[in-house]
Amino acid sequence: MRRVVITGIGAVSPIGLTAQESWDNCINGVSGVGPITLFDTSGFLVKIACEVKGFNPTESMNSAEARRRDRCQQLAATAAAEALQHSGLQISEENEYRVGVIISSAIGGICTLENTVRVIDKSGARRASPFTIPMMMPNGPSGLVAIDIGAKGPALSVSSACASSSDGIGLAWQYIKNGASDVMLAGGAEATICSVAVASFDRLGAMSRRNDDYSMTPQPFDKNRDGLVMGEGSAVLVLESLDSAQAREANILAEMVSYGVTGDAFHITAPHEDGVGGALAMRQAIDTAKLDITSIDYINAHGTATQLNDAAETRAIQTVFGEHARELAVSSTKSMTGHMMGATGSLEALFCIQAIRSQLAPPTIHYHTPDPECNLDYVPNKTREIPIKVAMSNSFGFGGHNSVLVFKKYMHD
């Protein structure tokens, strides 16, 4: 069983076009919320989202490639290119079969699907693009990134709703740990800010409608929280065996030490009110890493700003950590990035790695009114400098999918 380290990171998010810009804005409490510009919201009850602003795909691919790729695929390719460059890894004939890719997505190219339906309705079936299926496929980001970089190891995607990219990172960790691969690019990509997705999530009662006062939303763990704000983006990590990283004298950012995964078997959209599945996944991750509960210094919570989720996650943390729960720094960076659906776990994993590197716990912004049901330390509104050796990232998805990742400060033997 090999040790697994992180040697590269890349991101395109609502608060930054690179990993570093995203992190800088995260610790500065910058909100990514704004009016939707990607489609006409006339007649919609939700008119706000966390869009990736200023993104130009032709800065990382040629215009022909960009036209043949859905926005989520463009975002994935850009984040993956940054992560690979950051890692300093060179892929050649000598190692190409030992490098794999897992870029996960909950929904895939839904905006391409929506646009194609409109084209067919207006102009007929013969006007559908031959690139529609490749642009729609949830595994499209993984396949295209593997082609872009020449990685011939495992190439796949995981679809477990909002836990997708965390599960993909967990699977990549297992591949390397068990010796199936030496390097894995793992993360997520999502671009769902289109009329079908926004209207449908709103009909679930899951979304904030504070269109005129969006500077105050989303509000994870706040008593007055009124739902999530949809986000988009991509984040990719380069996971590598310690032996491989040391052999090429790579810069090691952190060590990944555990992955916990469970299913609620309870409800297709709602978490169990006591958070039992999430609690079990956290406990599993802690036990797998052979850690004590007091070893965890920071939790990047799933924290969607929905009434049910935030209360259930709080109970789950209390169940697992007991008295230590009150000593933990627990924050929801979705207060800044919005909910990036299947990609959100990968960005939050990246934030955990950066928290360990910088010894900074990012804030939960928009937090003003405590909720008796959510009574932990949510690092309200301002980044806090604290010792962070071990950080946990929680991702809980529709369908009852619970995924927990644990990262640790890298220490030499």
Does 201 lie in the same domain as 233?
yes
Inter-residue contact 370 to 311 (CB < 8 Å) = no
Q: What is the pLDDT of residue 322?
A: 97
Question: 0.75 exceeded by the pTM?
Answer: yes
Q: What is the pLDDT of residue 285?
A: 98
Q: HSE of 367 in the Cβ direction (CA atoms, 13 Å)?
A: 31
Does 219 lie in the same domain as 199?
yes
Rounded Cα distance, 383 and 272, in Å: 31
**Residue 313 host element (H or E):** helix 307-321
**Whether residue 374 lies in the annotated active site:** no
CATH number at residue 9: 3.40.47.10
At which of 201, 217, 247 does a domain end? 247
At which of 208, 229, 247 does a domain end? 247
Rounded Cα distance, 3 and 211, in Å: 47
Look at residue 333 and tell me if it is in a domain: yes
Which of 72, 162, 194, 352 is labelled catalytic?
162
Give 13's contacts (C-beta < 8 A, 6+ positions apart).
22, 32, 52, 231, 233, 234, 235, 337, 340, 347
**Whether residue 324 lies in the annotated active site:** no
Look at residue 252 and tell me if it is in a domain: no
Inter-residue contact 36 to 29 (CB < 8 Å) = no
Amino acid at residue number 393 = S
**Whether residue 162 lies in the annotated active site:** yes
Which of 302, 352, 374, 401 is labelled catalytic?
302
Q: What is the pLDDT of residue 155?
A: 97
Rounded Cα distance, 325 and 254, in Å: 24
Which of 86, 339, 366, 401 is labelled catalytic?
339
Size (the chain), residues:
413
Q: What is the pLDDT of residue 1?
A: 83
Coil, strand, or helix at residue 34? strand
Rounded Cα distance, 237 and 18, in Å: 13
Rounded Cα distance, 44 and 37, in Å: 13
Does 288 lie in the same domain as 209?
no
Count up the domains in the chain and report the number.
Answer: 2
Looking at the chain, the number of H-run helices and the number of E-run strands are 13, 14
Q: What is the pLDDT of residue 413?
A: 66
Q: What is the pLDDT of residue 27?
A: 98
> For the chain, which ranges sit under pLDDT 70?
413
Rounded Cα distance, 271 and 265, in Å: 9
Q: What is the pLDDT of residue 412?
A: 80
Q: Residue 188 belongs to what domain range?
A: 4-247
**Residue 19 host element (H or E):** helix 19-27
